[in-house]
Amino acid sequence: QAVVTQEPSVTVSPGGTVTLTCGSSTGTVTSGHYPYWFQQKPGQAPRTLIYDTTNKHSWTPARFSGSLLGGKAALTLSGAQPEDEAFYYCLLSYTGARGVFGGGTKLTVL
């Protein structure tokens, strides 16, 4: 099974910009991996921010965006807010529509 890697922890200043990445042990992440990004706050279920690399849901704040960057999937937060402090998980899809989550990134806004 593929291993999906994320930064364990990242810190961003309020109002700052940060990019979280999601890599695959199988090689370059492409749109064919249909990258998802999820936000999870303590005691809550995850919620989807980005699907299929770049697409946002109606509830996704405009300051979040998804892309492919340097062979990885990326989640960029522009103008970090205190309420963005959370865990962020990516999910990649592999052969047979099997998904693999990354280990998650703890984002601190400080």
Partner 1 sequence: QMQLVQSGSELKKPGASVKVYCKASGYKLISYVINWVRQAPGQGLEWMGRINTNTRNPTYAQGFTGRFVFSLDTSVSTAYLQISSLKAEDTAMYYCAGDAFDIWGQGTMVNVSS
Count of Cβ atoms closer than 10 Å to residue 71 Cβ: 12
Q: How many CA atoms lie within 13 A of 12 on its CB side?
A: 21
**R_g over Cα of the chain:** 13
- Widest pairwise Cα distance in the chain: 41
- What is the three-class DSSP state of 109? strand
Among residues 64, 72, 102, 109, the one that binds partner 1 under rule CB under 8 A: 102
Q: Tell the smallest beta-carbon distance from residue 46 to partner 1 (Å).
A: 6
Where in 19-78 is the site for partner 1 (CB under 8 A)?
36, 38, 40, 45-48, 51, 57
- By C-beta, is 51 or 67 nearer to partner 1? 51
d(CA 42, CA 21): 21
d(CA 24, CA 32): 12
Q: Tell the smallest beta-carbon distance from residue 14 to partner 1 (Å).
A: 26
Where in 72-91 is the site for partner 1 (CB under 8 A)?
87, 89, 91
- By C-beta, is 62 or 97 nearer to partner 1? 97
Residues that bind partner 1 (CB under 8 A): 1, 36, 38, 40, 45-48, 51, 57, 87, 89, 91, 96-104
